Structure 1
Amino acid sequence: MVEHPIPNGVTEVAQRLVQFPFTPPDAKLKEKDALSVSKDWFTTHDKSEIDRLDNLDFYASSGPQSVGVVPKLHNTSAGIEIYQLPPTLGKETFEKTEGPYRSGVTKKFSNKRSGKKIAKFKVGTIAQSGLAGFWVSRLLGHLVEVPPVTYRTMDIQEFEKVGEQARTTGHPDCTQAWADLRAMAKSGNPRIVLSGGKLVYGALAQNPRGENSSPEDYWTVGAIRGHSFYKVLSSREPVASVLNLNDVKALQDLALAQDMTRGVILDSIFRQVDRLGNISVAVLQHYVTAEGQVKWDDKISDKDKAEAVSPLLALKRIMYKDNDDGMNWGRDSISVTPILNETHHIDQTIYNRLQWLAALMQDSEPGSDEKIKDYFVNVVHISGENYDKLKASLIKQAASLKNRVESKDIQLDLDFEGTMKKLYAKEVEAAQAAKSTATATTSATSVEGTPTPAP
């Protein structure tokens, strides 16, 4: 835990990234920190982002650590937004002038503020859903670019101060949500307030970069069915019969088909009810390295360009930036259920990881279920009851997919990264050959330059 002693005498805490007690057979992790060099597990980027979230100081009045702490006043849920302050405004001025409702600026679905939004803090069940959603997304293969999130506490006086600015919001549902949170804080409700009554607890999430929030062409099942990538995931023919996998142009549909299937599986596990209005799309730069790794990000550095042996490919990817409407355990059908029912292709990684994790949750190794529950309760910070329901839902989803794979209703032939590697295999081979030649030349030169010992 990272501790933050604050002026009124209490100490806020933030959770560090802690190694999961088990490692999947397919993950290649660095021995030093048990992180993956590929986007198939927790990564160095995840750790650095969680460290950054952990170190945010809500109270520094000036300097580079000073941030703006203001209420979320748009859309339907309540929360607190953390801003990097603009150069022209100090913390006190920013929070006083841009925190409350502003006529003509604060709208139903938007509320533009100065500065850059870098994080958001939410409490209650939606916080637990967001926390577990991030961790499960990584355990199952780093799914749909779910942004890093971690457990954080906040002084209840600070929380109530921010909440007072949210008596008027841009959306009636948000106004009501804030009224409910103020009442819960005032009464010390254990759903958001820790014992002792001095701290609220919840999830502090990275605000992702580069996304186009909830594009309209993903708002309905019908709209999704109109995309070319949908033809890939819904066809009963092998993917190689639907797409020309020797053509770079196939990568876009392949990427979105894989993202969509991974996302709907994650949502089905969490019983996420409002996904179709919360799908985000980001244009990310993709490339293959000399080591044969496929990498992507929204911004590419000169170092990244130097290690690329393929062209930089700008491809749309699906991002699940909000994952706080899950854990609706009583819902049999959710908004993405039809998409999963019509899916006939998924990737090998998510299938294998689901079977692996479901087995561990059923003691495939001695005591493994107890260790995983302890991790989710004490590191992820969800309740024991929510873990039990998450476990049941995940095991059910794993069994359902296994039945569909064994009955040949689903094929395990979606492979975006493998396809991209094959497309640029010659470039990788050439780069490795050049590296090998350079290494051999250097070694030979070193040997030739070694002085002969005197007799």
Structure 2
Amino acid sequence: MPSTLAQEYRSPNGLNERSSTLPAIPHGVYSKKDAEQEAKLVGFDFYAEKLALCPKTWSTSPATMLRDLSTTDYLQSSYEAQFKGKAVPKGVKKAAVFKQSLNESNTSGTFSPAALLYYHFSRYFDLSIAVPVAIYREMDSKAHYQRVTQRGVAQTRKGMIAAGWRHLAAAEKNPANFKAAASLFTPDRKKIYGCMLKAKGERYGAEINGVRSRWGTVQNEEFQRTAPYLALSLDLPLLQAITEGKKQAFKNVKIRKATVDANPFQMMYWMKELSEIVLLDFIFSQQDRIGNIDYAWRWYWLANGEVQSQAADSKLSRTQMSSIKPPAEIAHLSPQLLQRTCLNDNDAGGRVPYVNFTKKTGMLQKLRHFSGNTYQRLLRLNADLQDSGEIFQYLQSNFLLDSGQLSQIVKNTRLAKDILQDTCSIHKLQFDLDAPKDYLLTGRVKVAMVSCG
């Protein structure tokens, strides 16, 4: 379990900026890598000569990209003056992203506490999806305007990204006139605050994100016609559900081509990961998930009676996976190549005005397969939140949530528990997604015996 870390950095204007981790969530399961990444993120000094800050000028929401120049001849000032856009020159490392909240008209909704919520609650549930470590960070708003926001405005011309930079510029120039100042500025209105994280992975195609013909309700319904989600929704034994889920999904040519007839081992991991996403997004009222689900390749093989795995260094899509060759040292073990899901873009959750598309389209109600461990943790979480227990106190104290945002999480957790409990009692929810990797070892599906509660 990582210990709480904090560091202060002094801006050229004489302001102390706080960079800190949040305390670990009670009963959370953290890794050694989590602690190492927290320390690395806290250690970034925005004013160091070998760290550049660049405006994000693509996609829909403004953010600050950190570039590590330590192995190059570049210095901060020259790099920031010279480079723009997504491209990064050789030797420069993509260090992290600093995101602030911004929810003005004609902008893409972003709420910085959401990434912190997803990080720590994914560790509470001990989930299999990769949710990036996130920390709290402040920055002198005048320094941010001069180094980042002005360039963001100059380098964007249209769309929500340009509107976002214009709103951020207006706010930083005159915080007193910004209505949502509390969500962007520290109480003294001299610093902006947000979260900092480093994402990994590439964007899934139609195999997970669906065909995405239109934003909103439509693409969330289309997501439910992917092979793993259809398998999750079928009241059949797991292997039969996988076969039938693919059969139904492959009626869509685009999905069939993107999915490349995934084997049962891959499908089990996808099913587990999608059920986890649906649960988190329901609880945190996520409105912009579909199209924002990523993956990283990983090799799996058997050795000495155990399942082993390691990352596969490739950015190729699933339709190109036959070109990804195993490392020589494991090639003779006939390893299987799997896409493992990364949940990086979590900043459109947590606010009451956001549309909870998971809830709106009934995703949780349709699940017939689930992890017994995740279900039991949900029951305990709900009991704690309803009784204002230690996790409720933790939630209330650490995420800068107002009473409405806090109440929404408590309410959504209770509703999620009620929905899955009803499914368990009425439809006999199958708890067969606890350990997909065991299937590689035994060739059998293990079903856990879990009380509905």
TM-score (norm 1): 0.74
TM-fit CA distance, 1:252: 0.5
Distance in 1 (CA, whole Å) between partners of 2:111 and 2:419 is: 26
Pick aligned residue for 2:290 from 263, 273, 276: 276
- Structure 2 CA distance for partners of 1:153 and 1:345, relative to 1, 3 Å: same
Q: Secondary structure at 1:14's aligned position in 2?
A: strand
Equivalent in 76, 81, 84 of residue 65 of structure 2: 81
Partner Cα separation in structure 1 for residue 347 and residue 62 of structure 2: 11
Residue of structure 2 in register with 1:112 after alignment: 87
1:187 aligns with 2:162: no
Paired residue type of 1:354: L
Corresponding position of 2:405: 386
2:189 corresponds to which of 182, 187, 197: 197
**What CA distance in whole angstroms lies between the structure 2 residues aligned with 1:175 and 1:154?**
21
**Which residue of the other structure, out of 347, 352, 357, is the alignment partner of 2:376?**
352
CA distance in 1, matches of 2:21, 2:302: 31
- CA shift at 1:299, angstroms? 5.8
**Structure 1 residues 244-283: Cα deviation after superposition (integer angstroms, max 9, x where no partner):** 9xxx942111111111111111111111112112111221
Superposition CA RMSD, Å: 3.2
Distance 1:289 1:165 in 2: 53
- Work out the CA distance in 1 between the residues paired with 2:268 and 2:87: 35
- Per the alignment, residue 320 of structure 2 pairs with none
* Structure 1 range deviating more: 73-82 or 415-424: 415-424
Query: How far off is 1:137 after superposition?
Result: 1.6
Match of 2:7 in 1: 3
Task: Kindly indicate whether residue 113 of structure 2 is the aligned counterpart of residue 123 of structure 1.
Answer: no
**CA offset at residue 82 of structure 1?**
0.7
Contact 2:364 2:416 in 1 (8 A): no
Q: Which runs of 4+ in 1 moved over 6 A?
A: 288-291, 304-307
Q: Residues 322 and 399 from structure 1, CA distance in 2 versus in 1: closer, same or farther, beyond 3 angstroms?
A: same
Larger radius of gyration: 1
Q: Distance in 2 between matches of 1:395 and 1:310?
A: 46
Corresponding residue number in structure 2 for 1:176: 163
Q: Of the candidates 202, 205, 222, which is equivalent to residue 215 of structure 1? A: 205
Give the 3 Å change call, closer, same or farther, for CA 393–140 of structure 1 in structure 2. same
The one-letter code sitting in structure 1 at the alignment partner of 2:373 is T
Alpha carbons of structure 1 residues 314 and 381: separation in structure 2 relative to 1, 3 Å: farther
The alignment status of 1:237 with 2:236, answered yes or no, reads yes
Alpha-carbon offset, residue 120 of structure 1: 0.8
Distance 1:382 1:294 in 2: 41
Q: How does 1:18-417 map to 2 (within 5 A)?
A: 18-20=23-25, 22-23=26-27, 41-61=29-49, 66-85=50-69, 87-99=72-84, 106=85, 111-114=86-89, 115-124=92-101, 126-161=111-146, 162-168=148-154, 169=156, 171-188=158-175, 189-208=181-200, 211-217=201-207, 218=209, 219=212, 220-221=219-220, 224-225=223-224, 227-242=226-241, 249-286=263-300, 297-298=311-312, 312-330=335-353, 334=357, 337-363=361-387, 369=388, 371-408=390-427, 410-417=429-436
Instruction: Give the whole-Å Cα distance in 1 for the aligned partners of 2:305 and 2:409.
Output: 37
Q: Is 43-52 or 248-257 further displaced after alignment? A: 248-257
Instruction: Give how far 1:411 is off.
Output: 1.8
CA distance in 1, matches of 2:420, 2:336: 32
TM-score normalised to the size of structure 2?
0.75
Q: Distance in 2 between matches of 1:285 and 1:241?
A: 25
* 1:176-230, Cα deviation, whole Å (9 max, x unpaired): 111222222233322211122322111001132xx22252442345654554433
Task: Give the C-alpha shift of residue 378 in structure 1.
Answer: 3.8
SS in 2 for 1:75: coil
Give 2:447's aligned residue.
none
Aligned amino acid, residue 83 of structure 2:
E
Runs of 5+ consecutive residues of structure 2 not aligned to the other structure: 102-109, 176-180, 213-218, 244-261, 315-326, 445-453
Give, in whole Å, the separation in 1 of the partners of 2:408 and 2:370.
24
One-letter amino acid of the structure 2 residue matched with residue 251 of structure 1: F
- Worse-superposed segment, 82-91 or 173-182: 82-91
What SS does the corresponding residue of 1:60 show, helix, strand or coil? Answer: coil
Q: Is the 8 A contact 1:147 1:205 kept in 2?
A: yes
Quick one: distance in 2 between partners of 1:151 and 1:92?
25
Q: Tell me the secondary structure at the aligned position of residue 126 of structure 1.
A: coil
Unaligned segments of structure 1, at least 5 residues: 25-40, 100-105, 364-368, 426-455
3-state DSSP of counterpart to 1:167: helix
Q: Is the 8 A contact 1:73 1:171 kept in 2?
A: no
The letter of the residue matching 2:20 is: Q
For residues 44-80 of structure 1, the C-alpha deviation after alignment (integer angstroms, 9 at most, x for no partner) is 111111111000111111xxxx211111111111111
CA contact (8 A) 1:12 1:155 kept: yes
Q: State the SS of the aligned residue for 2:138.
A: strand
Kindly provide the amino acid, as one letter, of the partner of residue 255 in structure 1: Y
Change (3 A) 1:201 1:377: farther
What amino acid is aligned across from residue 15 of structure 1 in structure 2? Answer: S
- Size of the aligned set, in residue pairs, is 381
Q: Distance in 1 between matches of 2:7 and 2:426?
A: 52
Aligned-pair distance for 1:331?
5.7
Which residue number corresponds to residue 324 of structure 2? none
Q: Distance in 2 between matches of 1:350 and 1:215?
A: 27
Q: Which amino acid aligns with 1:10?
A: L
Partners of 1:393 and 1:294 in 2: CA distance? 37
Moved more, 136-145 or 336-345: 336-345
Three-state SS of the structure 2 residue aligned to 1:326 is coil
The answer on whether the counterparts of 1:284 and 1:296 sit within 8 Å (CA) in structure 2 is yes
